[in-house]
Chains A and B, each alone.
Chain A
Amino acid sequence: MDTPANTIHYFFAGYAVIFGSILIYIINLIGRWRKLKRDAAMLEELERTRQTS
């Protein structure tokens, strides 16, 4: 019986790409969410000051 080819490095590279990409995308989404939340809060603040003045 032949032993399988030694391809474990490619295996690790493949899964590094899969996990890495998903992780980067999720972090990117969280970053965008936080930034938008900040913007929304800022805009609300601006709106309030406009209304009172």
Chain B
Amino acid sequence: MGQKPKALTILDWITGILFITAILGVFFYAPLEAVMGWVQKVFYFHVAAGWTGMLGFLVSAVAGVLYLVKKDPRWDRIGFAGVEIGMVFMLICIITGSIWARPIWNTWWTWDPRLTTATIMELIYAAYLLLRQGVEEPDRRARFGAVYAIIGFISVPLTFLSIRIFRTIHPVVIGSNDPGAAGAFDMTPRMMQVFMFSLVAFSFIFADILWHRIRLGALADHVEQKKIQLQTWGE
């Protein structure tokens, strides 16, 4: 693989600075919420991580479509990278949400539509990884991955909708399923600024990691091709 592009190094630095600024903003600039106290500060990065996760899955679905149209392995690498990064950040979102729910809703877990959908998304993309693992031929693996990334992504809004209707018809047993009822808060201007800044910072983190992950994918494909070449040669 070629040298690391200069633009990527610059992006690394910008991302690092933005991330540190966001952390400082959350820790010191954002005011302490009057009722929930410190744990409310988890909210900024919790939402930002969820946003990053959705970005990753969106990228994988779009890359899936483009791969099927263009048959360029680069789109396959982008799609795969999107899924992997999406899974990492969605997991962060679920766990931090759970940590936030414990003191506020008095439970680690509720079958709230957003939580449940996020978990089902993790399962969908875990299935995506298993599917890729089960197919050896690179071209077929890429096609199957693209198809499943598209199908999986389309099912997400319907899953969310179905659980949402399910919840509103059903009585809620523990806590409240609606954040508007418990744990809601009005954002002060400072909170809003920190929140928006976190979203921007995490978008940069996403772009930066995505680029690195795509380069890793390219290297992996290169090594795989070399291996196949040498094997066929040896026979």
Contact = CB atoms under 8 A, between A and B. Distances in A.
Contact of A21 (B35, B91, B216): B91
B174 interface: no
Interface in A16-41: 17-18, 21-22, 25-26, 29, 32-33, 36-37, 39-40
Interface string A1-28: 1101111101101110110011001100
A37 to B, nearest CB: 7
B220 A36 contact: yes
Interface in B33-52: 33-42, 45-46, 49
Contacts, number: 96
Contacts of A11: 37-39, 41-42
Contact of A8 (B37, B100, B213, B233): B37
Nearest to A33: B216
Given A4-B32, A10-B102, A14-B46, A36 B223 contact: yes
A8 to B, nearest CB: 4
Interface of B: 1, 32-42, 45-46, 49, 88, 91-92, 95-96, 99-100, 102-103, 205, 209, 212-213, 216, 219-220, 222-223, 226-227, 230, 233
Interface of A: 1-2, 4-8, 10-11, 13-15, 17-18, 21-22, 25-26, 29, 32-33, 36-37, 39-40, 43-44, 46-47, 50
